[in-house]
A = this chain, B = another copy of it.
Amino acid sequence: MTDRLNLAVIGVGRMGSVHVRNLIQRLPQANVVALCDIRLDVAQQMAGELGIREVVSDYRRLLADARVEAVLIAASTDVHAEMVAEAARAGKHIFCEKPLALDLPSIDAALAAVAAAGVKLQVGFNRRFDPSFQRVREIVASGAIGRPCILRIASRDPEPPSVAYARASGGMFLDMTIHDFDMARFMVGEVEEVYALGSVLVAPWLAEAGDVDTDVVTLRFANGALGVIDNSRQAVYGYDQRLEVFCSAGVAQADNQAVDTVVRGDASGMHAALPPRFFMQRYPETYVNELREFIDCVLHDKEPPVTGRDGRISVVMGYAAWKSWRENRPVKLTEI
């Protein structure tokens, strides 16, 4: 193993292009040897700008390339699991965007291939790499403020998606809450049961897709702690991402960070700035940090910080939430 990791990136859409730039500009241990996208021209343009030599439209060519040690999969969700499985069989280490898939059989097949091949797989739950959330976890995990009792997460998007997006995404609990499910496990540990309330209050068109735009989901943790996540598709004041872990000897809270620190006072009140509207602005460092750790795990043969199992459980939780919502009762993860 060299001291740089030869990577190919599959899918250079919104997330993929962020990753490519981070790899090249911020992560000297990464060597991007090729890009792949079914829209070959898009990939070619990016490669030209960034000085990447090889561009392909069929990812299997990358898997056949002996120089490629690892692949970063940022293609559309429906092909994640198949790509993971094939990459594993080709002996490539894998970083895959979340979710691994929207159905458990595909995930299980992909994880089996990864296990059989003994390659590394990291799933892109980037929020675990946010400095504030990491600090909260450190405080909680240190035991300095006692045992976790109550977890509260508020996670709200600025604007609702289209029906088409909602349909393809698996809906609220599998598209949006899935991040919070992962965060909940990151903060407090395994969850045994969920109960989900959901309504359509702000984006009536989502009702057509059988989706909701507002939810409150409770969590019963294996260690006895209780949790609650609330989500909305429409926080007009910006991307709202806060959490709190209330413990037996204290509390740790992570608040939003506004786009600037300015307060304007006048006769009508004290006015402060809003949080950013876009997730890239909210979480810029997380995308760098997660890849830095992935590269480090591959180069130094460590366990990735977000495993395939983590990727699977969050999907299980999403299904449990949907089942809970449909049946209006708490649902154990073991029911899924």
Contact = CB atoms under 8 A, between A and B. Distances in A.
A202 B260 contact: no
A258 B270 contact: yes
Interface residues of A, number: 71
29 contacts: A25-B25, A131-B259, A132-B261, A135-B262, A144-B266, A145-B264, A145-B266, A149-B214, A150-B214, A150-B232, A156-B246, A199-B225, A199-B226, A234-B248, A236-B250, A237-B266, A237-B270, A249-B266, A249-B267, A251-B265, A252-B263, A252-B265, A253-B262, A254-B260, A256-B261, A258-B270, A265-B274, A269-B272, A270-B273
A201 B272 contact: no
Contact of A262 (B139, B150, B230, B248): B139
Interface in A107-143: 131-132, 135-136, 139
Nearest to A244: B154
Given A146-B236, A250-B264, 12 more contacts: A132-B262, A136-B262, A150-B230, A154-B244, A215-B226, A216-B227, A228-B230, A235-B251, A236-B249, A251-B266, A252-B265, A256-B261
Counting chain B CB atoms within 10 Å of each CB, which of A232, A258, A260, A264 scores highest?
Answer: A264
